[in-house]
DNA sequence: ATAAACTATGACGTAACGTTAGTGTCAAGA
DNA sequence: TCTTGACACTAACGTTACGTCATAGTTTAT
């Protein structure tokens, strides 16, 4: 069954503007539209909206939510279970804040002492944020990435300090080389050679980097802020350039295999 | 004891930027500063920060928080008790969302049915928002406003439909007159006469409008969005103009009484 | 004296909509 | 068929509460 936008907004308890925004953002796009261009939301869209509201309730950004939900391996069941865990943590935090209120009242009425740390610790979101990040990270590693992570852990666990330094310097050198070619096209031969070397280096030093994994990693360089931030320290815009270069590299490798 | 900004930020678990912002915004201004201009936060500032975090946790805007906290009649004890009530409501809502997750899992696994309404009702914030608004409103009516409200209720309860219409038309006429003088100064004689008439009309038709109450009401016209919105329907900017005019009127009246 | 850490102000950017403007579409009633 | 009110669209600016970055002054420890 199809619902027009006001019906949908009323059902979900959100604004029409929000639905517009979600459509434009690519988070929840209606499955069809009328001949006059009206959005028509299906039952499946409605269910997706519910998922979105769960993620929103738990503090995930729309961007994060989009990445997780629109992934073809999105597991609703697993997500819901994870949500429940998070919600229980939020509930515990609420309890702590309530307790903190009681304590503050006693303090104000002069009955008790209250330390500075005690005043604020209930507001702490670290545990919740850590869990969110863990879940997001796990989700992003859905494919070979989770295997890659395990392999990487195993391989690097035996590295000596000297080996680590070697690995890092080689990585740095490759990135530096690519950064120096940034005024060229990502498809430039020199860039592509360096990208190939980067892939090789990953396979040798961290985990078996398949083309698929490599492409996903390239995406991560621009979608995961930590990656972007670190890479762009070398040169602003490098993360984006590198992503493009990796995509071209992977496409070329795929093409050459057909 | 005084704390510099990093110490304060660490104690409260918020960023330095946030403290800058709160200072600039007038929400939490440090009680003193060093000769070189460093902010120095006192124990009292720290305690105020805690109050701010409680309000923030409960979804109050910084603006609302500022109005409540910086009011000289701010009652910490009462606020905390109200916070607790709100937090218990939030906790209840969390429980409902958790229950909704369980239900959704059953639905996904095909065990049960789930209606559209059931999918979304747990996310509803109406009760919490209503409580927030109620508290804010009660706080804003701290002074004569709460008495004014009671008196207003009593007086208007006996109005006939005809009387209501009369009262409203007179109000509308006064506002209209003031709107027509908006290109003049708020201190203009014609404006001031109209403002005096408005005060008189309130006293006659609603409640005894003292100068103090009248001034506070003028403030409400620009700080309470509902007032602003309604008044500005007559003419954009009227609420602000009226506030200024009321302030001038009240000051003049006070001056003429010395 | 020096360098690192800390502090200040200024200002642009961000996320997720809310609000407004202007215009097209639909459905019911005259 | 025409009219009107409700509904829908897109575009675009505004809002809130900071995050981030730049630049420059101050403090602290070596």
Protein CA A63 to sugar C1' C14 (Å): 13
**Closest protein CA to C1' of nucleotide D26, residue:** B36
**Closest residue on chain B to A84 (Cα):** B98
Using the Cβ of B1 and the Cβ atoms of chain A, whether some distance falls under 8 Å is answered with: no
**Nucleotides in chain D near protein beta carbons (<7 Å):** 7-10, 12, 16-21, 25-27
Six-digit token pair at A113?
A: 């002492």
Using the Cβ of A123 and the Cβ atoms of chain B, whether some distance falls under 8 Å is answered with: yes
Nearest to B83 among A57, A101, A116 (CB): A101
Task: Using 50 as the pLDDT threshold, list the residues of chain A that sit under it.
Answer: 142-146, 257-258
Nucleotide in closest CA–C1' contact with A52: C16
Six-digit token pair at B144?
A: 């004569």
**In which element (H, E) is residue B158 found?**
none
- The answer to whether A38 CB is within 7 Å of strand D is yes
Using the Cβ of B79 and the Cβ atoms of chain A, whether some distance falls under 8 Å is answered with: no
Using the Cβ of A99 and the Cβ atoms of chain B, whether some distance falls under 8 Å is answered with: no
Q: How far is A48 from chain B (nearest CA, A)?
A: 11
- Interchain contact, B90 vs A87, CB within 8 Å: no
According to DSSP, the residues that pair with A33 across neighbouring strands are: A39
Q: CB neighbours of A49 closer than 8 A, spacing ≥ 6?
A: A8, A12, A14, A22, A28, A41, B120
Cβ atoms B74, B68 nearer than 8 A: yes
Taking phi over 0 as left and psi of -120 to 50 as alpha, with beta for the rest, B196 belongs to alpha
Class level of CATH domain A144-257? mainly alpha
Six-digit token pair at B44?
A: 């009292």
Cβ atoms A90, B94 nearer than 8 A: yes
Task: Using 70 as the pLDDT threshold, list the residues of chain B that sit under it.
Answer: 140-154, 156-158, 160-161, 223-226, 229, 254-258
Within 18-77 of A, beta carbons closer than 8 Å to B belong to: 46-47, 49-50, 53-54, 57, 76-77
According to DSSP, the residues that pair with B33 across neighbouring strands are: B39
Cα A246 → chain centroid: 19
Cβ atoms B93, B128 nearer than 8 A: yes
Q: Is the dihedral of CA B184, B190, B196, B202 positive or negative?
A: negative
Domain ranges of chain B: 5-69, 76-140, 144-257
Contacts of B102 in chain A (CB under 8 A): 84
Q: Is the dihedral of CA B179, B184, B189, B195 positive or negative?
A: positive
Six-digit token pair at B255?
A: 């001056």
Using the Cβ of A79 and the Cβ atoms of chain B, whether some distance falls under 8 Å is answered with: no
- Interchain contact, A119 vs B83, CB within 8 Å: no
Which one of 3.30.750.200, 1.10.1660.10, 3.30.1380.10, 1.20.1250.20 gives the CATH number of domain B5-69?
A: 1.10.1660.10
Protein CA A206 to sugar C1' D23 (Å): 41
Six-digit token pair at A140?
A: 């992003």
Measured between its terminal Cα atoms, the distance across chain A in Å is: 43
- Please give the CATH architecture assigned to the domain spanning A5-59: Orthogonal Bundle (1.10)
Predicted confidence at residue A203, as pLDDT, reads 80
Mutation for A interface: B93, B94, B112, most A CBs within 10 A: B94
- Interchain contact, B46 vs A77, CB within 8 Å: no
Nucleotide in closest CA–C1' contact with A233: D21
**Nucleotides in chain C near protein beta carbons (<7 Å):** 6-9, 11, 15-20, 24-26
Six-digit token pair at A20?
A: 């517009």
Contacts of A84 in chain B (CB under 8 A): 98, 101-102
Q: What are phi and psi of B32, to 5 degrees?
A: -150, 175
């Amino acid at each position: 069954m199809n619902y027009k936008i006001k019906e949908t907004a009323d059902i979900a308890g959100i604004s029409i503007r929000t639905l517009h925004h979600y459509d434009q953002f690519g988070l929840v796009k209606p499955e069809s539209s009328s001949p006059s261009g009206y959005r028509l939301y299906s039952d499946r869209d409605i269910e997706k909206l519910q998922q979105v509201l769960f993620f929103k309730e738990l503090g995930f950004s729309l961007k994060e939510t989009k990445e997780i939900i629109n992934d073809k391996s999105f597991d609703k069941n697993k997500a819901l279970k994870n949500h429940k865990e998070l919600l229980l943590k939020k509930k515990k935090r609420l309890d702590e804040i309530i307790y903190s209120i009681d304590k503050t009242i006693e303090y104000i009425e002069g009955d008790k002492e209250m330390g500075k740390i005690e005043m604020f610790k209930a507001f702490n979101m670290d545990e919740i944020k850590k869990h969110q990040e863990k879940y997001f990270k796990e989700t992003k590693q859905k494919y070979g990435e989770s295997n890659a992570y395990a392999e990487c852990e195993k391989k690097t666990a035996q590295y000596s300090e000297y080996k680590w330094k070697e690995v890092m310097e080689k990585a740095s050198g490759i990135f530096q080389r690519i950064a120096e070619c940034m005024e060229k096209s990502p498809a430039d031969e020199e860039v592509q050679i360096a990208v190939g070397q980067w892939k090789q280096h990953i396979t040798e030093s961290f985990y078996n980097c398949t083309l698929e994994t490599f492409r996903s990693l390239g995406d991560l360089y621009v979608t995961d802020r930590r990656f972007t931030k670190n890479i762009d320290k070398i040169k602003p815009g490098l993360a984006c350039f590198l992503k493009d270069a990796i995509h071209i590299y992977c496409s070329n490798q795929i093409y050459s295999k057909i």
